[in-house]
Structure 1
Amino acid sequence: MSGSDLEVADEKGDATASLIGSVGNALQVLLLLQTSSALRVSDVATDLGIARSSAHRTLTLLQQFDFVEQDLSTRTYRRGPALVEIGLAAVNQLPVRRAAYQPIRNLRDVTGETTELCVLDGRDVVVADVAEGLLPLRVVDELGDRMPAHLTAAGKAILAAMPPADVFALFPEEDLETATDRSIDSRALLTSHLDSVRELGYATNLGETGAEYVGVAAAVVDGSGLVRGAVTLALPWARAGDGFATHLGPQARRAAESVGAVL
């Protein structure tokens, strides 16, 4: 092989390495967006161990293809429409979503309240399907919305149906993030709360993610005992009487059981 051939080979190798590095950085950014709702250029640079200029180029490339979009007021980057569409396409293929499609709409028709199917993704729950409430004042959530599991009725219902060791693995630290003064703020409190969920057969959200609404949910468990998600009813706090959970909880549980029976 001549010297010129070696130079060409080296150039091709450098180009390939550069391409792999760029693709790897882009993929790592997408993985960061699994757990972060917004990223700064400095966040990406730190987490990936690359220069700020490289982080900015990666985010700009992802933005060109709508995988991320930038909030001009905060200069942060969040999930773009292309990434959301890919995620929703994957959700649409979930067997539990197909099984729950009619039951959650039946439950919505009976109660008038927004009814959802949520699934666990890491330490978050993700809205996999929504039957919007029939009343003028109602909770409005969208497909793909993500919330911390320990702050939601759906998340707590799912966690209560999991082996305690798996819950501890998800929450190894004692202190937990909060959203309101009603939020569960420690693993010890979460553990105690999950014991109550197991006794009742349903979980509640009493203004723990937002002061304006409440929720009740029951886990969807398949024939093999594997938890596959949760059926949730969400309603405005203004319409939730003192006994809303004892009224709606059993209805959510029956709907969840009907979904699990066909999985």
Structure 2
Amino acid sequence: MIEGLERATRVLALFSSDVPEWTVSDVCRELNLPKTTVWEYMQSMTALGLLRRTARGRYRLGWRAFQLGLRARMTSEISGPARVEMAKLVEEYSETVQLVSRYRGEVVYLEKISPRSGVHVNVTQVGERLPANCTAAGKALLAALPPGEVRKIYADVEMQRLTENSIGSLAALDEELSAVKERGYALDVEETVEGMCCIAAPVSNEYGDVTWALSMSFLEYRLATQGEMYAQAVVDAAQRLCHPTERFRAGR
């Protein structure tokens, strides 16, 4: 990998809704890089529009980062059909529904539709990242990988735990992923947010590779009475989304 590109990507990855602003010193401490190096990178990224400098001398994501994000969303082969299926689920069940992808040991939220009333899940905003081992969508995506690849992901990375219920060891994760494969869907019971559950099913691309996961979040007390119904609805919707490109070509 090109070193400069890798470092620039690491800088961009620091920005989130929780921490939207960073100083050069903050980035230095977080990434353990020399101040002169970080300053040069952030100046170049600002000139390119990837970052912007505020009046207080701090940095935020710039217009080009926003533009690239919109283009990625608009040109995605899954975004359009996913939103149709997601809207149907939200309308029928009045729960929050998300479309998720994975990068290494994290999941990234690509699309989200919340009901007009009821509980809104703030941690799953579009563009946010969460540990894959804690989320239903992450487990649905990890379960599609060979066991050896899952071990490589966590070989030098400590598993993050968001609640006391989060999986924190490779042995526990292996056991959970086996259960996911057997069920056909993944479950998060207060592993990401206390009091919340989530059900997720895998979505494959036109080549048969599991690239995304469709998930539904809901209050934990509904799991006992409505969990099976939610799981079947999410699995059915995810299956309809598989091979979206082929389906669109056939419909033209």
The 3 A distance-change label for structure 1 pair 165 and 143 is same
SS of residue matched to 1:95: coil
- 89, 93, 100: which one aligns with 1:111: 93
% identical aligned pairs: 24
**Are residues 1:136 and 2:110 paired?**
no
Distance 2:197 2:62 in 1: 29
CA-CA distance at 1:67 after TM superposition: 3.0
**Are residues 1:202 and 2:185 paired?**
yes
Aligned length: 236
TM-score if structure 1 supplies the norm length? 0.75
Query: Which residue number in structure 2 is paired with residue 219 of structure 1?
Result: 202
**Are residues 1:154 and 2:137 paired?**
yes
CA-CA distance at 1:117 after TM superposition: 0.9
SS of residue matched to 1:156: helix
Larger CA deviation: 124-133 vs 180-189? 124-133
Preserved contact between residue 51 and residue 59 of structure 2 (Cα < 8 Å): yes
The 3 A distance-change label for structure 1 pair 127 and 162 is same
Query: Which residue number in structure 1 is paired with residue 8 of structure 2?
Result: 30
Preserved contact between residue 154 and residue 218 of structure 1 (Cα < 8 Å): yes
SS of residue matched to 1:240: helix
Distance 2:176 2:120 in 1: 27
CA-CA distance at 1:80 after TM superposition: 4.9
**Are residues 1:86 and 2:68 paired?**
yes
Distance 1:250 1:196 in 2: 16
CA deviation profile, 1:160-208 (whole Å, cap 9, x unmatched): 1222222222222484111111111011111110111111111112121
Larger CA deviation: 85-94 vs 209-218? 85-94
Preserved contact between residue 126 and residue 147 of structure 1 (Cα < 8 Å): yes
CA deviation profile, 1:98-125 (whole Å, cap 9, x unmatched): 3322111111111111111111122211
Query: Which residue number in structure 2 is paired with residue 233 of structure 1?
Result: 216
Distance 2:98 2:198 in 1: 10
The 3 A distance-change label for structure 1 pair 178 and 83 is same
CA deviation profile, 1:144-166 (whole Å, cap 9, x unmatched): 12111111111111111222222
Preserved contact between residue 176 and residue 186 of structure 1 (Cα < 8 Å): yes
**Are residues 1:242 and 2:220 paired?**
no
Distance 2:127 2:24 in 1: 24
The 3 A distance-change label for structure 1 pair 186 and 53 is same
The 3 A distance-change label for structure 1 pair 43 and 166 is farther
Query: Which residue number in structure 1 is paired with residue 103 of structure 2?
Result: 121
Preserved contact between residue 114 and residue 139 of structure 1 (Cα < 8 Å): yes
Preserved contact between residue 100 and residue 117 of structure 1 (Cα < 8 Å): yes
Query: Which residue number in structure 2 is paired with residue 145 of structure 1?
Result: 128
What RMSD in Å do the two structures reach over aligned CA positions?
A: 3.2
Distance 2:101 2:183 in 1: 20
Preserved contact between residue 202 and residue 249 of structure 1 (Cα < 8 Å): yes
TM-score if structure 2 supplies the norm length? 0.78
Larger CA deviation: 165-174 vs 40-49? 40-49
SS of residue matched to 2:213: strand
- 153, 156, 166: which one aligns with 2:149: 166
SS of residue matched to 1:144: coil
**Are residues 1:181 and 2:134 paired?**
no
Larger CA deviation: 87-96 vs 117-126? 87-96
Preserved contact between residue 101 and residue 110 of structure 2 (Cα < 8 Å): yes
Identify unmatched segments of 5+ residues in structure 1. 1-23
SS of residue matched to 2:121: coil
